[in-house]
């Protein structure tokens, strides 16, 4: 069963999330489990004290929450909030809401593109099994709006059982790793027409 996604509409929450270090922290927490500020600091490229601040800000807006303590309980543990978020532009969005949504969507896209770039750059170091399983694809569709929405729901339903946050390592097959699916479904926007080059285009 697919989980309902909470639509983001608070400009302050969206601006708080659209920080590169916070998106990196949230990506790490998306793999499941609990972390300390020190655990995520190096991955985010920041100090542990800065990581602690960013985690508190993410908690303020409901993106992360306290995790059960471990050991002597002296270190504060964090985990991803048990809910999914979505952001999309609406025709009646106030200007400040639309601006915050655009900022967050651009930050999401930049983070996702960087994750894919790293995977592609390191593909030669992967085993044959993982190279063959990796897929970068683009498919041109012909659909109406209802079909596109239904396709998004079907893809979401297929991905749910494999989500790392809800599938602990002991529930996955041996050799399982954290992987990523990036799904973009959108209608083509009209391309600007550049016009034909002049006859002397390549001459000086």
Q: Tokens representing 190? A: 């009209």
Looking at the domain assignment, is residue 184 inside a domain? no
Looking at the domain assignment, is residue 77 inside a domain? yes
Looking at the domain assignment, is residue 53 inside a domain? yes
Looking at the domain assignment, is residue 100 inside a domain? yes
Supply the mean pLDDT for the chain. 90
Looking at the domain assignment, is residue 20 inside a domain? yes
- Domain range for 26 is 5-137
Q: What pLDDT is stored for residue 103 in this prediction?
A: 95
Looking at the domain assignment, is residue 174 inside a domain? no
E strand segments, 8-154: 64-66, 78-80, 84-86
Read off the pLDDT of each residue in 45-72 and give the average, rounded to a whole number.
92
Give the confidence band of 199 by pLDDT, cuts at 50, 70, 90. Answer: low
**Residue 30 contacts residue 165 (beta carbons within 8 Å):** yes
Structural domain total, the chain: 1
Please give the residue that has the higher pLDDT: either 33 or 115.
Answer: 115
**Using CA of residue 84, residue 89, residue 90, residue 93, what is the dihedral sign?**
positive
Looking at the domain assignment, is residue 47 inside a domain? yes
| pLDDT tens digits along 103-136 | 999 999 999 999 999 999 999 999 999 999 999 9
For residue 59, pLDDT over 90 is answered with yes
Q: What pLDDT is stored for residue 200 in this prediction?
A: 61
Cα angle 176, 179, 181; round to 5: 135
For residue 85, pLDDT over 50 is answered with yes
For residue 82, pLDDT over 80 is answered with yes
Question: Which value, in Å, is the radius of gyration of the alpha carbons in the chain?
Answer: 21
Domain of residue 50, CATH code: 1.10.10.10
Element (H, E) at 144: none
């Amino acid at each position: 069963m697919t989980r309902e996604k909470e639509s983001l509409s608070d400009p302050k929450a969206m601006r708080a999330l659209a920080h590169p270090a916070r998106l990196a922290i949230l990506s790490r927490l998306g793999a499941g489990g609990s972390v300390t500020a020190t655990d995520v600091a190096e991955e985010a490229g920041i100090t542990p004290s800065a990581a602690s601040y960013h985690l508190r800000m993410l908690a303020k807006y409901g993106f992360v929450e306290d995790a059960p303590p471990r050991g002597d309980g002296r270190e504060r543990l964090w985990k991803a909030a048990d809910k999914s978020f979505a952001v999309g532009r609406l025709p009646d969005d106030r200007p400040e809401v639309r601006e915050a949504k655009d900022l967050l969507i651009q930050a999401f896209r930049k983070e996702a593109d960087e994750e894919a770039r790293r995977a592609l750059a390191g593909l030669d170091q992967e085993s044959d099994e993982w190279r063959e399983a990796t897929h970068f694809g683009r498919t041109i569709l012909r659909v109406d709006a209802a079909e596109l929405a239904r396709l998004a729901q079907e893809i979401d339903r297929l991905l749910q059982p494999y989500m790392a946050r809800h599938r602990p390592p002991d529930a996955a097959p041996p050799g399982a790793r954290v992987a990523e699916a990036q799904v973009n479904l959108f209608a083509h926007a009209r391309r600007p027409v550049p016009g034909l080059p002049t006859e002397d285009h390549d001459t000086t």
